[in-house]
Structure 1
Amino acid sequence: MLDPIIAFFQRVFSAIGRGIGMAVAGVFWPFMAGHRWVQQRNWIIKGPIIAALLLLVVFYGLFIWRTQVWYGFDPNFVQAYNLNERTVPAGEPLPGEANACQTSAIVTLTADLTDMNVNQNNWISSTLLYKLGFFGVDWDNTPFFDNKASFQRGVNQVVRRTAIQLVDTLGRVRGTSGINNDLQDARGNIQFDEGTWYFGTDPFGFKTPTPGYYRAAVSSWQRFNSSLAGCDAVFDARADNLLQLLDGMASDLGNTSDILRRRSEEYNAGWFDTRADDRFWFAYGQLYAQHALLQGARADFSDVVRDRNLTAIWDEMDRQFAAALRIQPAIISNGSEDGWIMPTHLATMGFYILRVRSNLVEIRSVLDR
């Protein structure tokens, strides 16, 4: 009775095996043909070809190392700054010290997040092999080697938003004083295109790569904090400035939540959704940077947090951030929400983003009263 069923499955698996074998043969045939052709040539031709292949192996080895090894990655890295020990808001004179003011934790963390992206790690999006893609296919459209680039872009998106706030509101007195030159320079540099290499075609010619501009932004933020420490710069730690900072972050999270929702609803390919990892790690980078900067904002606006009784709400928001950042799956799956085999990491991340955003909106409503 079972013999026909067994025979059927044997034929099915045999056909699958033949199909996989033909696919593998099709992929490796050009390499095997090229190997046979090279074997028949003399060393005048073999030598340059072998040298080029070795160079390619070295370049791709470095590329794999740079994309898979993450330096400085630690969702709890802000704890090392001991921000809870600060007793003076940013920009205010330090008690018992002449001509000494409190530096800005927001500025410090903005600089250090960018430093992690371009100094501790290679900025992946502007490297040559990342720009060339996988046989001409953008790495973002493959399941390989793009997670770190997406995470870096998520962090950078938050840094860019903060750089604007620093110039327009935080680094000025009620928006009527002059713009700080260091903050202005940093904003201009951090807004530079994320994918520029040493050479380009639009316009044609040699260029300064993206990391060079971002490193210049780091130096500008550090100079601003040095000026602030000497009471030669301004940090306006008022409630309405904190409100604007939180409003911008909440808006960004709302946009990211919508991106995750649409991807989750329209593509249920599970582990085979090649863009799910990009969406997930961009959102993760956003949360990573926002969590750090909001801990800095809590220190910089300590008087506002205390006077408006925001401590309990802020503690809850920190717990939501921490819970979201604990989600670090090895493989990102975009399965159906009611599926039982493939998980839906995008919907899970979207859920946590909405919870964090609701806390931000709640703090914002208290500040707006």
Structure 2
Amino acid sequence: MIEPNGNLFTRVLKSIGRVIAWPFVRLWRWYAKRGWIAQAAIGVCAIGLIALYGYFVWVTQVWTNFNPDYADAYQIEKRNLSAGEQVEAGATTAARVCGRSAIADVSADLTDFNVNQNAWISSMILYKLGFFGLSWDNTPFLDNKASFQRGINQAVRRTTTELADNLGRLRGTSQVDSDLQSARGNMQFDEYTWYFGLSPFGPKTPTPSFYRSAIKNLRAFNTRLEKCDAVFDARADNLIQFIDRIANDIGGTSAILKDRAESNSAGWLDPRADDRFWFAYGQLYAYYGLLKATHGDFEDVLRTRNLDGLWNQMEQQTRAALNIQPFIISNGAEAGWIMPSHLITMGFYILRVRSNLVEISNALSR
């Protein structure tokens, strides 16, 4: 006799349920045979682990103060003063006042967004442990925010290096600014360090502590710059070098997206597509604010060279890339219509921004 389809479906579901429940049933039987002291200790550990995982899921899913238009709050377009440029002394005061660096301000605020307004995911113990030993980056869940934060961090690292090596020194030959040197060193620290490690074995200072120190360094530099006790060398050749480094940085990310898109076209089932996408998104998120800040810090250079219009266009195209926020990241075939390739789309926007940066660099070089 042929079994009705409904009964067969029910039996299959029950079988699946028994397979899923089996390890929990065995664990419960083992727990029930323990003494009350062991049960209490195990119960406390279990509750703590559940709470820890609950917190981990919460901080990976809630993106506090995420705002693609965050750069508008700086009102860069209202500035008429380059970074480090001295304001003419007024009649009531003889104290010197110089323009702050918007680049340093945005770098500090982006890092504050990463480690103070949000938890730094990559160095959390549950992120390091992974999903039953499998790296979260190799899964399709709970890694998007970590990748986004690392993308921001990549842009800030590049920027603090330029501040220390070139922008914060007169013609790159004067002494390195101590605050910028410390900021660069702190931002270069490993992204995955927890309070304890195995290589070398022992307690460690966690990653967020170093990044918080970098925030203080950048703000201390700007405080001294505002008092004309520090240097910001807003020359055209420094600007050329800075935007060339940014172009190379995002060009490398574009190559990563291209390689992943070409090597895997599993659509929504590609477990690495999401972290590739959100790293690139975080990088552009940071560079959007940093490029607007650069417009302010090099206001005199861009105005003199009549490049304000081209720079504004580049900023708009960078901001347009931040409108791509798909609920599920897909890495399908380029011609696919059911499962699109979000990596190719993001790569297109990155290359468009890079093309504008190269065009501005060439115009400055002439």
Same fold (TM over 0.5): yes
AA aligned to 1:356 is: V
Question: Which of 290, 313, 316 is equivalent to 2:313?
Answer: 316
Query: 2:128 — aligned with what?
Result: 131
Counterpart secondary structure, 1:120: coil
Tell me which residue corresponds to 1:239.
236
3-state DSSP of counterpart to 2:63: coil
Which of 57, 70, 83 matches 1:77?
Answer: 70
- Matched residue SS, 1:205: strand
* Structure-1 residue corresponding to 2:28: 35
**1:284 pairs with 264, 281, 285, which one?**
281
**Separation in structure 2 between the aligned mates of residue 281 and residue 129 of structure 1, nearest angstrom:** 20
> Are residues 19 and 239 of structure 1, via their aligned partners in 2, closer, same or farther at CA, if it must alter by over 3 Å?
farther
Matched, 1:146 2:139: no
Counterpart of 2:170 in 1: which secondary structure?
coil
Output the CA distance in 2 between the equivalents of 1:23 and 1:91. 68
Give 1:64's aligned residue.
57
SS in 2 for 1:274: coil
- Using the TM superposition, give the Cα deviation of residue 120 of structure 1 relative to its aligned residue in structure 2, in angstroms: 0.7
* Counterpart in the other structure of 1:225: 222
SS in 2 for 1:208: coil
Q: How many angstroms apart in 2 are the aligned matches of 1:71 and 1:158?
A: 20
Secondary structure of the equivalent of 1:174?
A: helix
Q: 1:256 aligns with which of 253, 256, 262?
A: 253
Q: Deviations over 1:47-103 (max 9, x none)?
A: 222211111110001101111111121111111111111111000112344311010
Letter of the structure 2 residue corresponding to residue 30 of structure 1? P
Which runs of no fewer than 5 residues in structure 2 stay unpaired?
none
CA distance in 2, matches of 1:23, 1:363: 61
Instruction: Note if 1:100 corresponds to 2:93.
Output: no
Q: Secondary structure at the match of 2:172?
A: coil
Q: How much has 1:308 moved relative to structure 2?
A: 1.1
Percent identical across equivalent pairs? 57
- The letter for the 2-side match of 1:65 is W
Whether contact under 8 Å (2:128, 2:135) holds in the other structure is: yes
| Separation in structure 2 between the aligned mates of residue 163 and residue 326 of structure 1, nearest angstrom | 27
Change (3 A) 1:336 1:19: farther
Pick closer, same or farther for the CA change 1:12–1:327 going to 2, 3 Å: farther
Q: C-alpha root-mean-square deviation of aligned residues, in Å? A: 1.9
CA shift, 1:166, in A, is: 0.4
TM-score (norm 2): 0.94
For 2:118 and 2:128, locate their aligned partners in 1 and report how far apart those are by CA, in whole Å. 17
Residues of 1 paired with 2:12 and 2:256: CA distance?
36
Runs of 5+ consecutive residues of structure 1 not aligned to the other structure: 1-9
Deviation at 1:46, TM superposition (A): 2.1
Give the number of equivalent residue pairs.
360
Q: Is 2:351 the partner of 1:354?
A: yes
- What's the CA shift for 1:296? 0.2
Instruction: Supply the AA of the counterpart residue of 1:57.
Output: I
DSSP 3-state at the match of 1:53:
helix
Matching residue of 2:269: 272
Q: Give the structure 1 partner of residue 205 of structure 2.
A: 208
Provide the C-alpha distance between the structure 2 equivalents of 1:17 and 1:280, rounded to a whole number of angstroms.
Answer: 40
Post-superposition offset of 1:36: 2.6
Letter paired with 1:344: S
